Chain A
Amino acid sequence: MSGAARSVRLLAVEDLTVTFGRAKAVDRVSFTLDAGETLGLVGESGCGKSTTAMALMRLLQGAETCGHAWFEGLDLVAIDAERMREIRGATIGMIFQDPVTALHPMIRVGDQVAETLRTHRGLGSAEARARTIDLFRKVGIAAPEERLRVYPREMSGGMCQRVIIAMAIACSPRLLLADEPTTALDVTVQAQILELLRSIAQDGGMSMILITHDLGVVAGVTDRVAVMYDGVIVETAPTDRLFANPKHPYTQGLLRSIPRLDSGWDEEMPTIAGAVHDAHAPSGCRFAPRCPLAAEVCREAPPLQSFGQDHQAACWRAS
């Protein structure tokens, strides 16, 4: 994806901060997303990637959110709940990790998709049904007329995820938030679902934020990547660039510690020492306690610095 579509900005997140009590789960996160672009939000569990998505959707409870998220001229953080309800599920769709619990267990899958259409598009039940059949066909559900009537428990995980995707794209959203959409699925089914998401995004000119811990998934699907660590974006770059020339020591460590099919079986796996919440740096760079390059200067929090076009990393020691 390149050229004209690139230049239209769809989402601009500025200093998004989410606090649960005294804990900052997301700390002044900023990023942008253009129309038609797919951004990968990568990090390990607890780094704040899902919280970021939930904050954008205003689905967090007991959390304090500040900062801005500009989306089509509206600030998603500030608009009233009523307005947000119109956007949620309509102009912004969302896909969750576990497809089985994301569906209502006692409602037929067809009705769940149709409900979205009736609520947001005001369709009558016959129209909604016809449109649901189209959607099922589009996401690769065979015999859609019959599948409308089944309950989630009668479907496999992959099929449930297709229903969720159908629901998420029912109102032709401008933005799709996909939170670990393939993590609960088998490899061969994962390949099918990723293929589907890729083609939907391309055909519909839809933007997507793909949240995942799997750098392999990111490599195949995204245009640009933001790497999160402990609530902060530590590096962002076009996907090819990030994999070819990572700047932040955390990104470098992550990439090195993925086992590859072509790595020798008797080689030691490179690791990142410690774990995320082992040692909390009270201030300064959050990765410093685990960082091989840490020095005196890292006691102060590093800002995102530019390392070439569209490539930024928050590290004093990167070069």
Chain B
Amino acid sequence: MSEALVEAIGLVRHYKLTGKRLLRAVDGVDLAIGRGGTLGLVGESGSGKSTLGQTLVGLQNPSAGEVRFEGETVVGARGAKLVRLRRQRQIVFQDPSGALNPRMTLGATIVEHLRVQGWPRAEARERAVEVLALAGLSEAFSGRYPHEVSGGQRQRAVIARAVSTDPAFIVADEPVSALDVSTRAQIMNLLRELQRRSGLTMLFISHDLSIVAHMCREVAVMYLGQVVECAPRDSLFRTPLHPYTAALLSAIPLPDPVLERSRTRIVLKGEPPDPSAIPSGCRFHTRCLRATEVCAKVPPEMRALLPGHTVACHHPLNA
């Protein structure tokens, strides 16, 4: 991998709840995304993937640890440096309807976004048309309101807005989850094309492993605020080391009735525990089929067992 553009080092994001309770949404994450690379981030709801994404683009401040961009720490950045960092790090959200102002045209939304960054009005207007075209929307869409276009077109506009400042890094947080199957593929292709063209670095967050498999060369799996496995995509899908990853993979319904009948499914017990009451030791031990005594006591360290393939588990599979 080339030099890292974005890094998280011991990143922690906690939320205070009523009483003395803490919600440990992100709880000690180390990761690095190489320039021009796409890291897929998978996990179930409540695993902290969105919080991690928002912390990496600066929408949330870390409670501890740091975020580095181009090798420099970004925590506490101010003034011109902060403005530059905002321009370079953008985010695309899951629900394009909620991400757009219903009372602004698609064009005006992008112009506003650029004006905040200090663009002169005329140039911002030109740029808006340009990026809408890049996202596959003709100039006519510039004057339309969000409710006048389809969900897929709204998501195109959100993506156009994100790339309008020519960012180096984009967090795509479940960008296709709210879309229909036939539109989904169009948006996935669009993101890939933008990336190829401008060398964007991307964190692609999804709960859907088959979409991640298609979009990313590297994949990190999160469980209750921590990354439990990180690997090149083929290594992860062929030889998952963490029992949780294996269960996730086996839970995906396959669009193939013959395969569906023949496969043995690992059905996990229960549901992910409440992130405000995290189990001791390995966080997954309450649902793990391989758990032993040590798992309830000692949190496993991240270690590399295959080339570029790290896992945090006392009893990894396939090893």
Instruction: Look across to chain B and name the residue whose beta carbon is closest to the beta carbon of A223.
Output: B257
Interface digits, B157-199 against A, CB 8 Å rule (1 contact, 0 not)? Answer: 0000000000000000000000011111110110010000000
Answer whether residue A259 sits at the interface, using C-beta atoms and an 8 A cutoff: yes
Grouping DSSP codes into helix (H, G, I), strand (E, B) and loop, the B interface class, with mixed when no group exceeds half, is: helix
Q: How many A-B residue pairs have CB under 8 A?
A: 138
CB-CB under 8 A from A219, the residues of chain B are 253-257, 259-260
| Contacts A213-B180, A260-B255; A186 near B272 (Cβ below 8 A) | yes
| Contacts A191-B267, A216-B254; A258 near B210 (Cβ below 8 A) | yes
Answer whether residue A60 sits at the interface, using C-beta atoms and an 8 A cutoff: no
Answer whether residue A84 sits at the interface, using C-beta atoms and an 8 A cutoff: no
Checking B185, B251, B261 against A190 with a beta-carbon cut-off of 8 angstroms, the contacting residue is B251
| Contacts A191-B251, A219-B256; A44 near B214 (Cβ below 8 A) | no
CB-CB under 8 A from A239, the residues of chain B are 257
CB-CB under 8 A from A217, the residues of chain B are 253
Contact yes or no, B181 A188, CB < 8 A: no
Answer whether residue B248 sits at the interface, using C-beta atoms and an 8 A cutoff: yes
Interface digits, A271-300 against B, CB 8 Å rule (1 contact, 0 not)? Answer: 110011110000000000000000000000
| Contacts A186-B207, A219-B256, A260-B210; A271 near B186 (Cβ below 8 A) | yes
CB-CB under 8 A from B249, the residues of chain A are 261
CB-CB under 8 A from B180, the residues of chain A are 44-45, 213, 275-276
Interface digits, B81-121 against A, CB 8 Å rule (1 contact, 0 not)? Answer: 00000000000000000000000000000000000000000
Answer whether residue B44 sits at the interface, using C-beta atoms and an 8 A cutoff: yes
Answer whether residue B144 sits at the interface, using C-beta atoms and an 8 A cutoff: no
Checking B192, B210, B247 against A261 with a beta-carbon cut-off of 8 angstroms, the contacting residue is B210
CB-CB under 8 A from A260, the residues of chain B are 210, 213-214, 254-255
Contact yes or no, A261 B209, CB < 8 A: yes
Provide the bound-state CA to CA distance between A76 and B59, in Å.
53
Answer whether residue A151 sits at the interface, using C-beta atoms and an 8 A cutoff: no
Answer whether residue B152 sits at the interface, using C-beta atoms and an 8 A cutoff: yes
CB-CB under 8 A from B181, the residues of chain A are 44, 213, 215, 254, 257-258
Contact yes or no, A275 B271, CB < 8 A: no
Contact yes or no, B182 A186, CB < 8 A: no
Contact yes or no, B257 A187, CB < 8 A: no
CB-CB under 8 A from B252, the residues of chain A are 187, 216, 261
Interface residues of A in 157-182 (CB under 8 A from B): 158-159
Contact yes or no, A187 B182, CB < 8 A: no
Answer whether residue B51 sits at the interface, using C-beta atoms and an 8 A cutoff: no
Answer whether residue B288 sits at the interface, using C-beta atoms and an 8 A cutoff: no
Answer whether residue B294 sits at the interface, using C-beta atoms and an 8 A cutoff: no
Contact yes or no, A269 B251, CB < 8 A: no
CB-CB under 8 A from A191, the residues of chain B are 250-251, 253, 265, 267-268
Answer whether residue B237 sits at the interface, using C-beta atoms and an 8 A cutoff: yes
Answer whether residue A253 sits at the interface, using C-beta atoms and an 8 A cutoff: yes
B179 nearest CB across to chain A (Å) = 9
Instruction: Look across to chain B and name the residue whose beta carbon is closest to the beta carbon of A192.
Output: B267
| Contacts A156-B271, A188-B247, A188-B268; A243 near B257 (Cβ below 8 A) | yes
Q: Which of A186, A214, A268, A276 has its CB near the most chain B CB atoms (within 10 A)?
A: A186
Answer whether residue B45 sits at the interface, using C-beta atoms and an 8 A cutoff: yes
Provide the bound-state CA to CA distance between A261 and B249, in Å.
9
Q: Which 5 A-B pairs have the closest CB atoms?
A: A216-B253, A44-B180, A269-B185, A186-B44, A191-B251
A-B contact pairs, 16 of them (CB 8 A): A44-B180, A45-B180, A188-B247, A189-B44, A216-B260, A219-B254, A220-B257, A240-B258, A258-B181, A259-B188, A259-B214, A263-B214, A265-B215, A265-B217, A268-B192, A269-B185
- A-side residues, CB < 8 A to B, are 44-45, 156, 158-159, 186-192, 194-195, 213-220, 239-240, 243-244, 253-255, 257-261, 263, 265, 267-272, 275-278
